[in-house]
Structure 1
Amino acid sequence: MGYRMPERLPFLEDALQGLAFWVGYRRAYFRNYPLAEASLVAESCNLIQSKITSDQKLYPELLYRRLADTAGRNELGDLWRADLAILDAACPDPYKEHVWDAVQFVFEVKRATAPPAEIDQDLRRLLHFKEMCRHGARAFLIVASEAKLPGRFVDPEKGQSRLHAHEIPETAGVYHVRRTVKAASSFEKKESAHFVCICEIFNHPPKQALPGV
């Protein structure tokens, strides 16, 4: 039996297309200085902030225990923080109070050149959030690659997202590469383009994917 993906998020895709262009701009001026992950988080924050609506608010570096009910579970450490989160604008101060019912989206941001174990750790962290969060909250890993096709997430022959469900190591969860955007000096140069991939995390293994998702 097939299943359907949740709707895609045009505001997020637009913002991260901007991130791909920004990576290219930085590369043109500072080729010998690879981008730090903190810089990618900061620019993602700026670009997403420019796209959200008046009833949403974007926050960096929120404790996961403020975002989901982690009581009685130790998969998410007390001091672990999400890189970015979009909450209902009317929620209390999430740096001081629990906002479990106000969470819309949670994001981790990663460089594609990070060690695979670090990427897997972020995937598991987002999966554990999904297992504990309110119904309807969504979790994403944003992967940025500077001047190199990220083969784990992008088909090297097509230069497009690797489709269908991908297992999150050591868990029953999966992720889908929902969208891949890129910036390149020409259409043919996909191997050296700058890529940003949007991966959505699901806490149950889908039985069968519909074509093209």
Structure 2
Amino acid sequence: MLDDPLVQDLLRKIIDDPEDHQGAKKSKSKKSKKNDDKDLDNMLIVQCLNKGVKTDEEIAEKTGIRLNIVRKILYRLYDAGLASYKRHKDPETQWYSYDWKFEPEEVNKTIKKQINDEIEFLKNILDNEKDNMFFSCPEGHTRFDFEDASNVGFTCPECGEEVVFEDNADIIKELEKDIKKYQKIYDSIEVSE
């Protein structure tokens, strides 16, 4: 399951710290190399959890990742509904410990929901493309539907050129193709109710 690119993408979105990637350049700088290592560490935590390692301390010991980082990732998974835990109190020390469990079925449900959201988003764009006439600047500055084009006098506000009718048949075909692709992926994901 963890080898599936859709699962990996979902997990990275959940467990990666967005602050680590802000301003990161596409080139392999020291900072982005450090972020890649951090991404791998985060995935190691998920792999341990998926293999049945139960406590945060055991995960930290097996991976060599600091305990506070392990806990942070576990709580992100918990917040996303992809992990659960049971809390119990040690009778001698009175300390609480947590047994964590990875929820693979929730992964599929979450992926299926995200894909469905993307399909709905694309369908809305498709409906807009089918229901409207579009005009664009010959220089590529702007694109308007009929109403917006008429509001600007059928001229580009950037360069003053007259906007021209745009045949959007290729855009419609591409959107329909994308919707079919996502629908096929959606249909292939099994979720038990």
- Normalization by structure 1: what TM-score? 0.20
Give the strand-richer structure, 1 or 2: 1
Tell me which of the two structures has the higher relative contact order, counting C-alpha pairs closer than 8 angstroms and 6 or more residues apart: 1
Larger radius of gyration: 2
